[in-house]
Chain A
């Protein structure tokens, strides 16, 4: 992988060495985009990677999303991060609808949760008996509407209001999805640690 950073720096030099004439016209716009939107590149990729669960797809989606973001940059009001992540999220959904439609089924928030709301026993016992790999697998295994709010909250540290903007749902829905995401995750970790516990014993 040593060659890749070299390539990246090459193409950056290239850009400086041969400025497009359009720089002269849209220089201010481009500079503002670089200052306001590009700092959130890492967040954009992390979200796309968690939603698509695949490096290659995330790379394609992020490129597409930034092109769209630049095209619609004039429509940016307020914070750039949730605005960009909304574009990334929509690009992910569009991509998955075309390529993996099974994952993007219409979601009904009214369905009663089958996971117990909260009980003292197993969750508490499972509290620290999972490892990093189990945690990541459990998050990756969450259905899309739950995975999305959990990543936006815990890894991107967005407020409920910002998550509502990104996921295009009311704040109340963000709250209930996040609660269910954590319950599902706890249940999934409990199952995983039970299985690994069983395997160790046998």
Chain B
């Protein structure tokens, strides 16, 4: 055993990772050689110091909540719809009737998905939470720019769609940046506008069927929803309802095309 090998084995020894034959060999060396004993002692001290004093980073609570909330989304669907293995996930009890049940289930779920009343509420909560989180962390955007030609390509490069980004500074809504978030089981674009000291988040993602326009107030925040040219928009801000409605109009006009 060379000195270097022995030194490396000493690490494995203090980590309790040696088989008993090798461990005995090392223990014999420790017993007869004070410098090996000293080295072993130092290694143990360092290990203890790291375990006791190195930072163990703790995630903010919202992160685990967000991870949990994201679990049943898209991936589970896709995994289930794949033919192989998916029936196993349902459980043995279903296997005999699997083919009938699967067809029935899918039909039923698609129908449910289309008319489920809770979905809008879910999205409302998600966009509001995203806005409040951004406010609390004062991290409003991932890309900071008042230039629509900077923000749009930045978002397009990271999403499967390209959101319309309007420069509305002439109307008193200053574009300050954009960020990404995960709403309703998909990555979405968030455009960040400012009016006086109010920050307005505009969430954008493609929608198949436009839903009715909505104006809501939650926890003191105003929320506007509309869809235009295949894109759904959710605006969230502490800005007054009328001003938020103005912004919705402007974005709607812009999205409809020049």
Contacts and interface: CB of A to CB of B under 8 A. Distances in A.
Interface residues of B, number: 70
Contacts of B125: 10-11, 14
Interface in A1-44: 1, 3-5, 7-12, 14-15, 17-26, 28-30, 33-34, 38, 41-42
A30 B253 CA distance: 43
Contacts of B45: 127-128
A67 B70 contact: yes
Contacts of B38: 120, 124
A71 B79 contact: yes
Nearest to B125: A14
B15 A23 contact: no
Contacts of B89: 25-26, 28-29, 74
Contacts of B78: 71
Interface stretch (B6-14, B196-204, B220-228, B241-249): B6-14
Contacts of A41: 59, 64, 67
Interface residues of A, number: 68
A45 interface: yes
A117 B3 contact: yes
Contacts of B113: 21
Given A41-B64, A74-B85, A182-B43, A154 B50 contact: yes
Contacts, number: 190
Contact of B11 (A23, A58, A178): A178
A185 B46 contact: yes
Given A58-B57, A71-B75, A179 B50 contact: no
Given A25-B109, A74-B85, A117 B59 contact: no
Interface string B59-90: 11111111111111101111110000100011
Nearest to A159: B17
B62 A4 contact: yes
B61 A22 contact: no
B72 A26 contact: yes
Contacts of B126: 11
Q: Is the interface of B mostly helix, strand, loop or mixed?
A: helix
B241 to A, nearest CB: 23
A65 B76 CA distance: 15
A160 B113 CA distance: 47
A69 to B, nearest CB: 10
B4 interface: yes
Given A63-B66, A155-B50, A117 B58 contact: no
Interface of A: 1, 3-5, 7-12, 14-15, 17-26, 28-30, 33-34, 38, 41-42, 45-46, 49-50, 56, 58-59, 62-63, 66-67, 70-71, 74, 117-118, 120, 123-124, 127-128, 132, 135-136, 139, 150, 153-155, 159-160, 175-176, 178-179, 182, 185-186
